[in-house]
């Protein structure tokens, strides 16, 4: 069983919708990450939060907006997405920035 | 910059066969190396890791040795099972603050009974 929980598991949305992805961990990890994974490709880093502060933004379009309300929770707010944004979105966490990352099972997002 | 190269898949084996998945890397400094496994419909699971040269990571019968002289971290298992069928990712993490993981392209393993 994964210790990083992501909800929802599946999400279908139109290009004008606003939705949010949620990630939760209770391992006391202080670094949290969002990745995007297209089919048959490795994950691509989007954002890194360390101690609830945004540390890395890999030049992600502003239609993706991350939020870290507390040390256990990470959100990804979605607005005006494009069909090419359809992918598996993975959340990960690590004890600190230099420790192995633990991944959730992801949210499979489809944009109509 | 840092990069990871993995062998192309799919790798198709019969149950109880010996497995090797090659992984080589290019990096500055002294990175940590990881193998992650992704089963269908799931996220990535950390399989094993090594943080310095000559370290051997092992887990669930899989093992890999951090070889600085050949810049390699090949994954091996002596006897694969059908349940090992998955995609395996080799990854590199620079030991400078944040583990910005650099992944290889992934290798799909298919094990038949």
pLDDT in tens, chain B (113 residues): 889 999 888 999 999 999 999 999 999 888 899 999 999 989 999 999 998 899 999 999 999 999 999 999 999 999 999 999 999 999 998 766 666 789 999 999 999 99
Tally of CB atoms within 10 A around A45: 21
Q: What is the dihedral of CA B83, B40, B100, B54, to 10 degrees?
A: 10
What pLDDT score does B100 carry? 78
B54: left (phi over 0), alpha (psi -120 to 50) or beta: left
pLDDT at B76: 98
Whether A22 has a pLDDT exceeding 90, the answer reads: yes
CB contact under 8 A, B100 and A56: yes
Give the residue-averaged pLDDT of A20-48: 94
pLDDT recorded at residue A74: 98
Output phi, psi for B80, to 5 deg.
-80, 155
Asked if the Cβ–Cβ distance from A50 to B98 is below 8 Å, we say yes
Most B CBs within 10 Å, among A5, A43, A95, to test the B interface: A43
| Per-residue pLDDT reduced to its tens digit, A85-105 | 999 999 999 987 667 899 999
Nearest CB among A92, A98, A105 relative to B95 is that of A98
SS3 at position A68: strand
| Each residue's pLDDT tens digit, A40-93 | 999 999 999 999 999 989 999 999 999 999 989 999 999 999 999 999 999 999
- Per DSSP, what are the bridge partners of residue A111? A13
State the best of A5, A42, A46, A54 to mutate against chain B, taking most chain B CBs within 10 Å.
A42
Hey, what are A39's tokens?
């089919």
Note whether B101 contacts A99, CB cutoff 8 Å.
no
Cα B11 from chain centroid? 14
Q: How close, in Å, is residue B11 to chain A by CA atoms?
A: 15
Furthest C-alpha separation in chain B: 44
Query: Could you give the C-alpha distances from B74 to A1, A14, B67, in angstroms and in order?
Result: 27, 43, 9
User: CB neighbours of B61 closer than 8 A, spacing ≥ 6?
Assistant: B77, B78, B79
Strand partners, A54: A49
């Amino acid at each position: 069983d994964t210790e990083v929980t992501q909800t929802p598991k599946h999400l279908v949305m139109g290009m004008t919708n606003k939705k949010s992805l949620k990630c939760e961990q209770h391992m006391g990890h202080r670094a949290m990450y969002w990745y995007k994974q297209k089919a048959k490709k490795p994950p691509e880093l989007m954002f890194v939060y360390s101690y609830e502060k945004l540390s890395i933004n890999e030049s992600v379009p502003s239609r993706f907006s991350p939020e870290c309300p507390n040390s256990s929770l990470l959100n990804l707010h979605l607005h005006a997405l494009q069909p090419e944004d359809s992918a598996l979105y993975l959340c990960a966490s690590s004890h600190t920035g230099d420790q192995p990352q633990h991944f959730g099972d992801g949210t499979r997002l489809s944009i109509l | 910059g840092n990069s990871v190269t993995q062998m192309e898949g799919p790798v198709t084996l019969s149950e109880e066969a010996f497995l090797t998945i090659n992984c080589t890397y290019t990096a500055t400094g002294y990175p940590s190396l990881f193998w992650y496994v992704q089963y269908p419909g799931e996220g990535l699971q950390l399989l094993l890791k090594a943080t310095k040269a000559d370290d051997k990571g092992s887990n669930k019968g899989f093992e890999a040795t951090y070889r600085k002289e050949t810049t390699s971290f090949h994954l091996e298992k002596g006897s694969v099972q059908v349940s090992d069928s998955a995609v395996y990712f080799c990854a590199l993490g620079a030991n400078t603050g944040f583990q910005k993981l650099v992944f290889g392209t992934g290798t799909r393993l298919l094990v038949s009974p």
